[in-house]
Structure formats: C-alpha cells, structure tokens
Amino acid sequence: MPANTNALQTAPAPAQIQQSDLSSALSAIFRGRFCQTLLQNRNSQKFEKGETLYDISRKEGQFFFIRSGVVKIGTITETGEEVIFDIRKAGEVVGELSASSSPRIDRAVALELTQAVPVSYEEILATIQKNQPLLRDLIQLFCDSLLNAQEQVTSLAFRDTMQRLTKTLLDLAGQLGRPAGKRIEITAYLTQEELAQMVAARRESVSLGLGLLRRDGLVEYTAHGHLVVDPVALRDYRPKN
C-alpha cells in the first residue's frame, strides 16, 4: 500500500526569506565581465569541505567570488535549526549582503573543496559607481526581488512538502546538473538533512518524499551518492494519495 503523502507536513517559512531572495539576485549581477575585471591578478583562498567562508553576525564586509567548488548559503533560526537559502558554484558570488551596515544574517559553508577570491565591499562599490548601466540593473533588481520574495512566501504558505521538494530538485538540476541520458545528475553530494534545510521541512518528511519519488521512478542515486532526476516527470508530478 503506498504511503500517504498527507503525512508530509508543511514547515513554517523562514523569517529571512526576503533577504535570501535578494542575495540570490545580487549574485546574478556580480558575474560575467564585471567579475572578470574585478578579479584580475588576485589569489584564491582554499576552503575544505565543511569549512565556513563567513559566519552569522560577522561585519568584515567581504564578498567571495567562487572559482571552483560548491557553497551553501543559509542561516540558523531562533530555534537552532539550519535553513539553506541557496547553493552557489564556480563563477558565482557569496557574501553580497555584507553591503548592509548590519551584521551578517547569513553564513556560507563549503560543500566540497572550494577556491574563492575575497574582495572588499569598498572595492566593489567603487567599481559600481563608475558603471551607470550596472546601477540601473541594481535598481531594477531591488524591484524584482520584492516580487520574487512574495512568490516564495506564497509557495511556503500554500505548497505542501512534496511540491516544495520537487521544486527544489528541479532548481538544483538547473544549477548543478549535467546530462545523464534523458535525466539530469546533480553533481554536488547533498545529504537528506541539507535537502530538508532547502525545502524548509523535517528530514524525515524529505526522506519519505524521496522514497516516494524513487518508487515512482523520478529520482535515483549514483554510486557516488549523487541524485539523478527526471526533470520532465518532476514538473508533471502529482502525489498519489
């Protein structure tokens, strides 16, 4: 008899949802030609798996431009639970919220061996002030991020755990995926606890959800523990009661 998906309980929305959405959007701005110009002749720092690039409450005012590896961005809630906002890879940026005068509300931790280049906020600000198109992009970005944050809050309020899990898997396939036949392999190793922190749900609920998806042939694991997903089937997935 199939498991009842109603047992997958919806978790409360993290209080930091708007900041995380803005952080992801800011990261998209600091890429491409801007990134190449800023990083010329700079050395990388090495971070081992599990090592923290920066932590909550710090005020050092640094951005980190990732040259290789994978980094998770998140925070610790008032109840002591970790929530993961986003996953960043080579060519992306972490630490953008150091632009705020307040202490950091997020933290960055390497999911695997990572090389990243630290750059001070003052240097980045000086570069932006010389680039009017970039300033216009930032203004538009702030407007868009407010709309996107509302969508995320709505998702957490009205989507159940299975819907959020399938969306998270699709997002990861888009961010970290590589083709594996007609499927997509998520190239970073992620534990069920880390997936639960992205979905904003209990680990047990995510474990049950993954079991249901494996039973229906939508996900599988490689010998190295990487998730392989069927993106077409995930988009069309409807839980069986």
What is 160-235's CATH number?
1.10.10.10
Provide the 3-class DSSP secondary structure of residue 110: strand
- Distance of alpha carbon 125 from alpha carbon 221, whole angstroms: 43
Going from the C-alpha of 200 to that of each of 47, 109, 148, 234, the distances in angstroms are: 26, 18, 17, 19
Find all residues with CB under 8 Å of 179, minimum gap 6, and list them.
185
Q: Residue 236: its pLDDT value, please? A: 92
3-state SS string for 98-119:
HHCCCCCCCEEEECCCEEEEEE
From-to residues of CATH 1.10.10.10 in the chain: 160-235
Q: How confident is the model at residue 126 (pLDDT cuts 50, 70, 90)?
A: confident
- Predicted confidence (pLDDT) at residue 235 exceeds the cutoff of 80: yes
What is 17-154's CATH number?
2.60.120.10
Provide the 3-class DSSP secondary structure of residue 194: helix
Mean pLDDT computed over 219-225: 95
Dump pLDDT digits (tens) for 187-205: 999 999 999 999 988 999 9
Residue of 2 and 100 predicted with greater confidence: 100
Residue of 31 and 19 predicted with greater confidence: 31
Rounded to the nearest angstrom, the gap between the alpha carbon of residue 206 and the centroid of all alpha carbons in its chain is 17
From-to residues of CATH 2.60.120.10 in the chain: 17-154
Q: What is the pTM of this model?
A: 0.74
- Predicted confidence (pLDDT) at residue 5 exceeds the cutoff of 70: no
Dump pLDDT digits (tens) for 207-218: 999 999 999 999
- Distance of alpha carbon 206 from alpha carbon 158, whole angstroms: 17
Contact present, 8 and 160 (Cβ < 8 Å): yes
Residue of 240 and 116 predicted with greater confidence: 116
